[in-house]
Chain A
């Protein structure tokens, strides 16, 4: 009797509390807002774990769909910020992006094998941990209005990482499906076809929506509304049909950028709508913490973080000079590429909705890696300040 009421009440009030703590944390302690939201989510995770001991908790807490829409907005914006002409004009940048992704993948694979994960799990974790999560990067970049090489390279490398991670992840999902069902058709469908259709839908939206905006003579506010509706539609469609809303919305952003008309651009961060949905997203991510896996997985998480940081930073340093970057900014870019878990967790959630069991990977991503992700906005803030790339005289 109490459960439905609890569910209807708890969620909005928790989000309001998160907003309040975010503002207070920012003004009094200088903590990034999204870090505060994430910590509220962590507290929810602990409460839910404790509650399960006393009574059955089913769907008491579910922000998954809203979080996916919020994720879609961020991915769209990431895609929109990516200038595909840049890697073309600076091939060393493109090479550095692919090299750091491959280096990270290989290094993480061997670390997880050392910790006695099986091959498929190691490949899966390597794919997930290669990605640099844009969830914590974009809001900080927008808040600080930062611009410069650390900012631009972090965003572009994050986008390239994410695409490569999604492709690798889907290939592994396909293999897992083949293992489970023995059917090649299902395996190909869940990997290759999913990627193709998701990217195709994203491109379709990316071509169609800018045209609609031109026809409607939409200004910036209305363009923001239209893009938000488009992203919501695309997320819901791909989600319902078990395609990849992540790839679809990222491709949507990339394509819309290519077809853009400067008259019809969305507001950065989608204005107030984005601000509200970010609260949802980070409370949700924080609530994915796996408290029972935290301590047992500590050593592994430290090893993965160190390996990841080393691989990415070394590659940044290797390509610094030829790609036009200073050594100092190459090192700072390595730090800025720190966050990873939040992206991986959302990918895993989508796979779980298709009935695939990746609980082992969830346990790894939901431990220290998640906590570091939630702290990463503050790390990124200081990194961008150290790089001298913040606006407003920050």
Chain B
């Protein structure tokens, strides 16, 4: 598995986003970085990624190293780093698009959507033995997607207001025409030579990168990439979510769940909405038996199912963290509690900054 995190760059005075990615990247270039770091769509974002990791301890250690290097570099430049799926009060019109050809192209194509895409997500890659097993996992995971949305949700505030969503970030993603879900195909030959070639021929896409699906195959890495998570406020939470996904994939590959089929997608959008809007309190529908259950309940049942796999993968501690989220609430709840204390969205950003650094807040 591998983790990518999109992070916010914050001005410590006004707590707004600050367009300092070029300065930070310039400084980070000077020494070896414990992972990879690169610019993102706008200059107030950076993206970090880990190496290929196989267990929770290794992943967590690398994420903590990355965090420490970033925080130290940020301190040297009077910049703060924060997680969270959105910045609580930034206005999209004030963002500057990074001066690289791909981003300028996207900005020309998508207009204001490109600047509104100043949202911050966690992407988790899971390595697959074959292209067909990648497609199998991609579609088997569809019914568990709301878990990851609800557990990672950390974007209740947007442009200064409480959106009443736990994850408002995904509303920005859904606006893009190539967002959503992959077509229901389980054979890679059919997918590549059928669907993908047809899309390529239309001129609408030129590579897999152009799809903003919730889960997409990444052939160059040999992985599937889960893209629905908000960036959590802490690297510890990011590691826990990645390992939950890893354990779940291990479980799914044993064919313990019924095989995926197209009808699973009947309730896909509804379940996804419930998770974004209500977080862990959302109600999801199982399309196999039309039964409704709360996400909390669904996650608890799933944790029991994957416990053995987590043990084999060295991820038990990660599942303990997931159980803690179910008991204490996700980061969206944390941010709302912080707002209730201080009655000001700047306090929310301040809390996110301290949480990322590992300060007690």
Contact = CB atoms under 8 A, between A and B. Distances in A.
A331 B109 CA distance: 35
Contacts of A85: 75
Contact of A393 (B73, B96, B342, B343): B96
30 contacts: A80-B13, A81-B13, A83-B13, A89-B76, A90-B76, A148-B18, A148-B22, A149-B20, A149-B23, A149-B77, A152-B78, A156-B78, A262-B346, A262-B349, A323-B76, A324-B23, A324-B27, A324-B73, A324-B76, A324-B77, A326-B23, A388-B43, A388-B99, A389-B19, A391-B94, A392-B93, A392-B94, A393-B93, A393-B96, A393-B97
A392 B17 CA distance: 12
Interface string A379-393: 000000000111111
Interface string A8-29: 0000000000000000000000
Contact of A145 (B75, B78, B94, B97): B94
A323 B342 CA distance: 35
CB-CB nearest 9 A-B residue pairs:
A147-B18, A262-B346, A263-B344, A89-B75, A86-B78, A324-B76, A391-B94, A149-B23, A90-B76
B15 interface: yes
Contacts of A152: 77-78
B11 interface: yes
A16 B8 CA distance: 42
A265 interface: yes
Interface in B70-123: 73, 75-78, 93-97, 99
B258 interface: no
A324 B97 CA distance: 23
Given A148-B19, A263-B346, 15 more contacts: A81-B13, A89-B75, A90-B77, A147-B11, A147-B18, A148-B22, A149-B77, A261-B342, A262-B347, A268-B14, A324-B23, A388-B99, A389-B19, A391-B96, A392-B93
B12 interface: yes
Which among B20, B95, B347, B350 has the highest number of chain A CB atoms within 10 Å? B20
Interface in A32-89: 80-81, 83, 85-86, 89
Contacts of B14: 265, 268
A262 B13 contact: no
Per DSSP, chain A at the interface is loop
A388 B20 contact: no
Contact of B344 (A81, A83, A262): A262
A329 interface: yes
Contacts of A268: 14
Interface residues of A, number: 30
Interface in A350-394: 388-393
B154 to A, nearest CB: 19
A147 B19 contact: yes
B75 A391 contact: no
Interface of A: 80-81, 83, 85-86, 89-90, 145, 147-149, 152, 156, 257, 261-263, 265, 268, 323-326, 329, 388-393
B288 interface: no
Contacts of B349: 262
A356 to B, nearest CB: 36
A262 B353 CA distance: 13
A393 B118 CA distance: 14
A148 B9 CA distance: 11
B26 interface: yes
Interface in B1-59: 11-15, 18-20, 22-23, 26-27, 43
Nearest to B348: A262
A86 B75 CA distance: 7
A265 B12 contact: no
Nearest to A87: B78
Which among A90, A147, A324 has the highest number of chain B CB atoms within 10 Å? A147
A383 to B, nearest CB: 15
A380 to B, nearest CB: 17
A262 B15 CA distance: 9
B279 to A, nearest CB: 25
A81 B344 CA distance: 19
Contacts of B94: 145, 391-392
A145 B17 CA distance: 11
A147 to B, nearest CB: 4
A83 B78 contact: yes
A261 B341 CA distance: 12
A262 B18 contact: no
A147 B302 CA distance: 46
B342 A263 contact: yes
A257 to B, nearest CB: 8
A262 B99 CA distance: 33
A243 B14 CA distance: 31
Contacts of A263: 342-344, 346-347
A265 B343 CA distance: 13
A130 to B, nearest CB: 23
Contacts of B343: 263
Contacts of A393: 93, 96-97
Contacts of B75: 85-86, 89-90
B20 A262 contact: no
B177 to A, nearest CB: 23
